[in-house]
Amino acid sequence: MKRLFLFALPLMMGVSASAQQKVYVCDGFNAEVVTIGSADDIVVSEASNSLQIGSKTFKLSEVDSVTFNAPMFNEVKVAYNGSTATVTIPSYVKGVTSSVTGSTVVLTSKNVTDEILYTVSGTSTNGSLTIIGEYKLSVALAGLNLTSTTAKAPIDIECGKRINLILNEGTTNTITDGASNAAKGAFYTSGHLEIEGGGTLNVKGNAKHALCAKEYLQIKKTTGKINILGAVSDGIHCGKGKENDDNSFFQINGGEVTVSNAGSDCIDCDDYGCAIIKGGNLTLNVSQNDGTGLKVDSCIYMTGGDIKFNVTGNISDGIRTSYAAYFDGASLNGTVAGMGARGIRAKKTTKTTDTVLNGGYLYFNGTNADITVTGTKNVADNTVCYGIKADTEFKQTAGTINITVSSTDSTTKAYNFKSNTSTGGTLNAK
């Protein structure tokens, strides 16, 4: 239970039995209004860790505060309208200044004690938003269609702290950069990016990556849809390439993420990075040659959700780890059609210049997989097409893996394992 919530409880005792009273239940920058008639309408249950207010039930862990006065959030609003932009900074928001030139907006925050919410909306075909700060912050997209044709990224958040990206419910938000963008992504942040909210985000990167976080990138359970429409390099790129760094990972707990038309990898967890799949749906369309759907230099951990990949690029992989992958639940579905392509690959790297050495491990401990292979050998370098390939070890203890090979090339195989130490589960190859 949060401390602010405890402070609010004594105030509730003053509610009149005959008067209707609005109660504001706050969670972060969201407030739900409930009308009650008396203090008896408010019940706290420690046994179920819940708060009952009128007809509404809330988890105590998800309540920051309860108040009778409409809350004032530290909110700055940015609204685009063609070639212009308007910034609104309320007087009670301290430490934030703005610079606006046409539709180019730069916000600088010196506030290091209070989280600021930046709500962004409107349309501009040549606009940008740069946020500079030293404290965690939130950005809410509330129906934004923003394109930049300059060297500036449409959205560039220069803050090394936690960045909370909220996709407002019922909104569609589209971010597109120009070929001259000097940042690493059309949507770029130098900190840890956490995404939530039931709206839709569309991103296209015409210079390099589409969606890029210098540190970790996490997609929460409440997230709606993220569509990567295309990228010159990676569709989603995260991690800063430092050994033993806890902030280099990609994690998805919910939502629907679709990546198409990436010039390199659909999702790339940079050097030493890992991927954590706990929920949600990933759809990875690998049309580029020598590319990957989900590329991880360290480890993959999958316990929930669903991954679909469609590999049509040559010498490409649906899922690739340079060390190990642990598939402990949920499902995988994929098609492998490119020449010399692989569906799932654990790669062993031995060059001294490689980031991670001596990997090549695949462990299936409950994840069910269905893979269809129609690709042929890549004649340029004799790379054979496989459904699953483990350079060092494959081990299955549970779950069912079905690999169907339908190819005109006799060298195409369902799988290739250096060592198979399976003790359970079912592997069907036909």
3, exposed or middle or buried, with CB in 10 Å at 0-12, 13-18, 19+?
exposed
Task: State how far the Cα of 233 lies from the Cα of 282, in Å rounded to an integer.
Answer: 19
Task: State how far the Cα of 95 lies from the Cα of 134, in Å rounded to an integer.
Answer: 11
3-class SS string, the chain:
CCHHHHHHHHHHCCCCCCCCEEEEEEECCEEEEEEECCHHHEEEECCCCEEEECCEEEEHHHCCEEECCCCCCCEEEEEEECCEEEEECCCCCCCEEEEEECCEEEEEECCCCCCEEEEEEEEECCCEEEEECCCCEEEEEEEEEEECCCCCCCEEEECCCEEEEEECCCCEEEEECCCCCCCCEEEEECCEEEEECCCEEEEEECCCEEEEECCCEEECCCCCEEEEEEECCCCEEECCCCCCCCCCEEEECCCEEEECCECCEEEEECCCCEEEECCCEEEEEECCCCCEEEEECCEEEECCCEEEEEECCCCCEEEEECCEEEECCCEEEEEECCCCCEEEEECCCCCCCCCCCCCCEEEEECCEEEEEECCCCECCCCECCEEEEECCEEEEEECEEEEEECCCCCCCEEEEECCECCCCCEEEEC
Which residues share a beta bridge with 257? 226, 282
Task: State how far the Cα of 384 lies from the Cα of 193, in Å rounded to an integer.
Answer: 38
Is the per-residue pLDDT at 16 higher than 70? no
Task: State how far the Cα of 361 lies from the Cα of 358, in Å rounded to an integer.
Answer: 9
Q: Which of 39-53, 283-297, 381-395, 407-421 has the lowest mean pLDDT?
A: 39-53
Is the per-residue pLDDT at 3 higher than 70? no
256, exposed or middle or buried, with CB in 10 Å at 0-12, 13-18, 19+?
middle
Task: State how far the Cα of 307 lies from the Cα of 282, in Å rounded to an integer.
Answer: 5
Q: In the prediction, which pLDDT does 257 show?
A: 98
- Rounded mean pLDDT of 380-400? 97
Q: Of 164, 172, 226, 223, give the one whose Cα is nearest residue 198.
A: 223
Q: In the prediction, which pLDDT does 11 show?
A: 46
- Rounded mean pLDDT of 111-129? 96
- Rounded mean pLDDT of 125-143? 97
- List, for residues 221-242, the tens digit of each pLDDT value: 999 999 999 999 999 999 865 5
- List, for residues 238-280, the tens digit of each pLDDT value: 986 555 556 789 999 999 999 999 999 999 998 788 999 999 9
Task: State how far the Cα of 385 lies from the Cα of 389, in Å rounded to an integer.
Answer: 9
Given pLDDT bands bounded at 50, 70 and 90, which one contains residue 37?
Answer: confident
Q: Extract the tokens encoding 206.
A: 């015409």
Sequence-distant (≥ 6) Cβ neighbours of residue 345 within 8 angstroms: 317, 319, 320, 321, 386, 388, 389, 390, 391
Is the per-residue pLDDT at 148 higher than 80? yes
Is the per-residue pLDDT at 127 higher than 50? yes
- List, for residues 320-371, the tens digit of each pLDDT value: 999 999 999 999 999 999 999 999 999 998 777 766 778 999 999 999 999 9
Task: State how far the Cα of 328 lies from the Cα of 366, in Å rounded to an integer.
Answer: 5
Q: In the prediction, which pLDDT does 12 show?
A: 47
- Rounded mean pLDDT of 70-80? 91
Percent of the chain, pLDDT > 90?
78
Domain limits, the chain: 3-67, 72-271, 273-430
Q: In the prediction, which pLDDT does 9 show?
A: 47
Mean of per-residue pLDDT scores for the chain: 92
Task: State how far the Cα of 125 lies from the Cα of 175, in Å rounded to an integer.
Answer: 10
Given pLDDT bands bounded at 50, 70 and 90, which one contains residue 290?
Answer: very high
Is the per-residue pLDDT at 2 higher than 50? no
Is the per-residue pLDDT at 10 higher than 60? no
Q: In the prediction, which pLDDT does 1 show?
A: 33
